Each structure stands twice: as structure tokens, then as C-alpha cells.
């Protein structure tokens, strides 16, 4: 039984109880009771409407909260799957480390230079190129991954002209190998080597200084490098 029905029953009982009273007393009772009862019923109705409004708001907020929690849960699940995939890729890399190694030589069996420009040497004879990081059309090695690399270069040249070779990294001089012109030396050989920490996409190559020369022989003028380990 609801509170409204209960009030109605009480009101009916009050009315029936008043049937045995004199007319003047009934009128007096009605005059004193009904205004309070009407006021109470109005207040009760207003309170009921407010409670229904609060209940509706709570229901809407609960539904919005559930929707928000569901979206966050789905986003976390997606992020977890992405993380698991990244971990799997890293494990595969650790299980199968990337192999990068190359050795190339200058073809032609003839002098290269001297010219009045700084020249990038293009070693077109490919002895080995594991990982295909060396480009035989440009003479440039491009690091496929971040890691520690080892590079070396050697040359053969005539003693009648100066020699000056640079190992370059992204337009930066790393080291050099050179020989001065002499009249008493028929030929010269030299080289240099370095360990380099490279970022993915870094470029390494050998350049010939302007107004110097080197002998293009794929067996003695070479450029090599390999990946020691990834970082």
C-alpha cells in the first residue's frame, strides 16, 4: 500500500467518523482539517516530483558512467593488445638479431681524381651486402637500425699525387687517411677505421678531398662495415 493510498484511507475514516457529529462540529472540523490536509498533499506531491527527478538524474548519470567505464575499458584493452604486440616484436628481434654487413671496392683500375670538388666515392663492386644497407649507386651506407657499427676503408694510390680520404657521417668529418705527394715513392697504401653509434637513417660514406686522387682498384681500395649490436 502506497503512502498516497494510506492517506486516502485515513481521510475516508476521518470523514466517516465525523458523520455522527453535529453539523456545526463537522463544519468546524472540516474547516480546520482540510486546509492542512490539502497543504500536506501538495507538499507531498512536490516532494514526490522532486524524488522522481532525482531518480531520473541518478539513472542518467549511472548510464553515462557505465558508458564511460565501458569506453575506457575497451581503450585499455586495445592499448594492452598493442603493448603485447610490441613486446612480441621485441622478443622476435632478440631471438633473431638483425644482420648487417658489407664490403665494397672501387672498380676501374684507374686513377680517380684529382678534381677541384669534394667527391663521394661510389664503390660499385659489391663483395657482400648483407641487409642491403649499402647503396652501390650512391656509395652511401644507411643505418637500418640504431646501434653500434664498425667501419673501415683502405686505399691504394700513386705517390706522384696527394691522397686525402674522409670517413663521413651525415656531412660530419669522422676521421681521415692521407698521404703527401712525393717524387721518390711509386705507390702508397693507407686506411683507417672507427666504431660509430648510429641512429636509424644515419648515413656513412667516404669522400675524396678536392685536388687529391686515389687509385680505383676493387681489391685494394675498399670500404667495409657491419653492425655490432643494436641499441
Q: What top-level class would CATH report for the domain 101-230?
A: mainly beta
Biggest CA pair distance of the chain: 151
pLDDT digits (tens, 9 = 90+) for 67-95: 888 888 888 988 888 888 888 887 776 77
pTM: 0.61
Cell of 52: 522522481
> What's the chain's average pLDDT?
83
In the prediction, which pLDDT does 4 show?
52
In the prediction, which pLDDT does 97 show?
82
* Domain ranges within the chain, ordered by starting residue: 3-94, 101-230
Residues 6+ apart with CB under 8 A from 196: 148, 149, 150, 151, 169, 174, 204
Distance set, CA 165 to CA 58, 179, 194, 218 (Å): 79, 9, 14, 16
Length of the chain: 231
Three-state DSSP class for residue 134: strand
Amino acid at each position: 500500500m502506497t503512502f498516497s493510498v494510506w492517506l486516502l484511507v485515513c481521510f475516508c475514516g476521518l470523514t466517516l467518523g465525523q458523520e455522527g457529529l453535529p453539523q456545526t462540529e463537522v463544519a468546524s472540523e472540516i474547516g480546520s482539517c482540510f486546509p492542512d490536509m490539502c497543504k500536506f498533499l501538495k507538499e507531498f506531491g512536490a516532494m514526490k516530483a522532486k524524488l522522481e527527478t532525482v531518480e531520473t538524474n541518478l539513472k542518467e548519470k549511472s548510464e553515462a558512467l557505465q558508458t564511460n567505464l565501458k569506453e575506457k575499458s575497451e581503450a585499455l584493452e586495445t592499448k594492452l593488445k598493442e603493448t603485447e604486440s610490441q613486446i612480441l616484436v621485441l622478443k622476435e628481434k632478440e631471438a633473431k638479431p638483425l644482420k648487417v654487413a658489407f664490403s665494397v671496392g672501387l672498380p676501374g683500375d684507374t686513377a680517380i681524381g684529382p678534381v677541384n670538388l669534394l667527391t663521394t666515392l661510389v664503390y660499385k663492386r659489391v663483395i657482400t651486402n648483407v641487409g642491403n644497407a649499402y647503396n652501390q649507386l650512391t656509395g652511401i651506407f644507411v643505418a637500418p637500425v640504431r646501434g653500434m657499427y664498425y667501419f673501415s676503408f683502405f686505399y691504394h694510390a700513386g705517390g706522384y699525387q696527394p691522397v686525402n680520404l674522409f670517413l663521413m657521417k651525415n656531412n660530419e668529418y669522422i676521421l681521415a687517411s692521407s698521404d703527401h705527394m712525393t717524387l721518390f715513392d711509386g705507390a702508397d697504401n693507407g686506411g683507417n677505421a672507427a666504431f660509430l653509434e648510429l641512429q636509424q637513417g644515419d648515413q656513412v660514406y667516404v669522400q675524396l678531398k678536392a685536388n687529391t686522387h686515389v687509385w680505383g682498384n676493387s681489391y685494394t681500395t675498399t670500404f667495409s662495415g657491419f653492425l655490432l649490436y643494436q641499441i
